[in-house]
Chain A
Amino acid sequence: MLDQLIHLKVNGTLHTVAVPPHRTLLEVLREQLGYTGTKRACRVGDCGACTVIIDGKAVLSCLTLAVEVQEKEILTIEALGDGDRPDLLQQSFVDCGAVQCGFCTPGMVLSAKALLDENPQPEREEVRRAIAGNLCRCTGYAKIVEAIEDAATRLS
């Protein structure tokens, strides 16, 4: 139960951190590595706010143990553009009005990114399916779906 030194590759940077096994990836990202763009909402898998991309797949960092994702490529929202230079997908979210309070947004963007990376020209149904695990109270989702489709068009 002692802390373990682990190596996490986050957004291309290798971090070495001491963590006990019972730390979730969400906790380590936020509390030890300062990646606070990954949001902490339900903490039990219900909402998708903590979504990150591991080895190309969208997963929930609140249900992932930090010790089990060594040697993997972890992408958080910080891997995309920043406030000054958003990447294309983030720009679509902004332009289409897909952001309101913004608390679901990082997770939503990452779910969308995982989809588009794998399937650059998704059908409407595929877009909906990709974000079905991300709850949003503010937008009603229509503008989020529109933003992802807009990004797909702009990417092609």
Chain B
Amino acid sequence: MRLKKFEHFEPRTLSEACQLLKEHAGKAAVIAGGTDLVVRMKYGVTTPEYLINLKKVEGLSSINLVGENLHLGALATLTQVRCSDLVRERYPVLAESALAVSAAQLQNMGTIGGNICLEPRCWYFQQGSSWRQARADCFKNGGAVCYMAKGSTRCYALYCGDTAPALLALGAKVRLVSPCGERTVPIEEFFVDNGMRHTDLQPAELLAEVILPGPGAGQHGTYLKYRKRGALDFPIVGVAAVITKESTAASRLRIAVTGVGSSPLLVVPPADFPAGSGLTHEMINRMAEIARKQVKPVSHMEVSPSYRKELVGVLVRDALEKLAGA
């Protein structure tokens, strides 16, 4: 459980960071809070020769209002996020999801950028090197098998970040910078359902900030997390639901789920789903059922796929009931 050698860089600007990434393509890793990366490095499943530390990048941890939009710097810690008045007043669902991450120390260290980019997890991949010697490498460790879904041709490692579903449900965008410039994309387009490469980050590209659209007058949201223990644990399932009033007559409902695939999943309501103003009992049941059907989990940890699906239904129902009551 000791780190292997690496060279450490502390760039002052994002473009400098991108440049370093480009220079050391394939051999470098970006470190923010380090609570995910350092663990993987200790296990020897990620072995960068160059570590590009974002902590000294100016202004990367600020939380600012720009017009109606809230800009969260990628380096803002989860504690900063959950304690920010701007976040708590405007996007309580995000504060809830940041508070649901692990425990105090990890919230103090972990960043929102790192939480979004959190590597998909799996019991077979995240283990020490002597443990891994007992079996052939899995896809994620350079092999050709996925122990979670034996016989499959892809990696099914699970995405377990807590804030991503809240950000998806809030309709966030992410601003990405690279040596070639920058782009801003809706967060749902940023994620890819692939355990090996779960984001659309291009080589030498970095996540600079998260942009949240103004909540408008009548937005409610909530994040519910189901985990084995009351703290520290990653979600077995996490559900964020946000209702945004679009006009006096119509509201938009967005539900996102984490812990069910290699990326967080935005639940797609069917075309005929009444985007009405109130959440009726029938609508809640129907939405829970739809969410349950849309997730396609594999067996992981002591949790069977059917149980995980079941939990999605329960959490979606609970979240919507909470919103209906709010």
Contact = CB atoms under 8 A, between A and B. Distances in A.
Chain A bound to chain B: yes
Interface of A: 1, 4, 20-24, 27, 43-46, 48, 51, 57-60, 63-65, 67-68, 111, 114-115, 129-134
A132 B232 contact: yes
Interface residues of B, number: 30
A1 B5 CA distance: 7
A57 B5 contact: no
B51 A133 contact: no
Contacts of A111: 104-105
A59 B109 contact: yes
Interface of B: 1-8, 10, 31, 34-35, 38-39, 42-43, 51, 53, 55, 79, 102-106, 108-109, 230-232
A21 B104 contact: no
B34 A65 contact: yes
B234 to A, nearest CB: 12
A23 B38 CA distance: 11
B1 to A, nearest CB: 4
Contacts of B43: 44
The residue among A4, A22, A24, A114 with the most chain B CB atoms within 10 A of its own CB is: A22
The residue among B104, B109, B232 with the most chain A CB atoms within 10 A of its own CB is: B104
B105 A44 contact: no
B38 A48 contact: no
A115 B104 CA distance: 10
Contacts of B109: 59-60, 63-64
21 contacts: A1-B6, A20-B5, A21-B7, A22-B2, A24-B3, A27-B2, A43-B42, A44-B42, A58-B104, A58-B108, A60-B105, A63-B35, A63-B39, A63-B109, A64-B34, A65-B31, A68-B10, A68-B55, A111-B104, A131-B104, A133-B231
Nearest to A27: B2
Contacts of B108: 57-59
A117 B34 CA distance: 25
A67 B103 CA distance: 24
